[in-house]
Amino acid sequence: MCSMAISKLALCLACIMVRLAMTKQTLAQNSAQDFINPHNSARSAVGVGQVTWDATVAAYAQNYANQRIGDCQLVHSGGPYGENIFWGSGAEFTAADAVNSWVSEKQYYDYASNTCAAGKQCGHYTQVVWRSSTSIGCARVKCNSGAIFIICNYKPAGNIVGQWPY
């Protein structure tokens, strides 16, 4: 009886360790650096300086993301920062997934005319590479529905009408 209890305890501990390892991996894929790296890669590609993490902006992003947990709607916060939002369902979408989604709009941006292709979006991309945006703060939450909501805020805001991003 005692050896059976020890076996069950060992199995239980092994399961807990696997779950902790998986949780750490998920968190590790959504750290500040996991948001910064793809931003700076896209910015470097067009000769724009790097962004850094801003704890105040990140707190704003986290507060707003927490407000979206109940409905997971793609609704902008209307706050004082530039903002990109992402929603995904059916997978554990990460920081890199969101930023890469925004950067994928590069194909629709025409620098010469500073416009997006007809019927396409490119404002998420231009915010990522906006020269005067020098700091970011981002957050990721899992909504009650199981979907993922990710937000990045930019200081100062970009996408100013009549100005080029870089």
SS3 88: strand
Looking at residue 164, what is its pLDDT?
98
Direct distance between the N- and C-terminal alpha carbons of the chain, in angstroms, rounded to an integer = 71
DSSP conformational letter for 8: H
In which band, very low, low, confident or very high, does the pLDDT at 27 lie, cut at 50, 70 and 90? low
Q: Is the pLDDT assigned to residue 116 strictly greater than 90? A: yes
**Separation CA 150–CA 145 (nearest Å):** 14
Structure tokens at 140: 């990721």
pTM for this entry: 0.83
Average pLDDT over residues 76-93: 98
The band of 65, judged by pLDDT with boundaries at 50, 70 and 90, is: very high
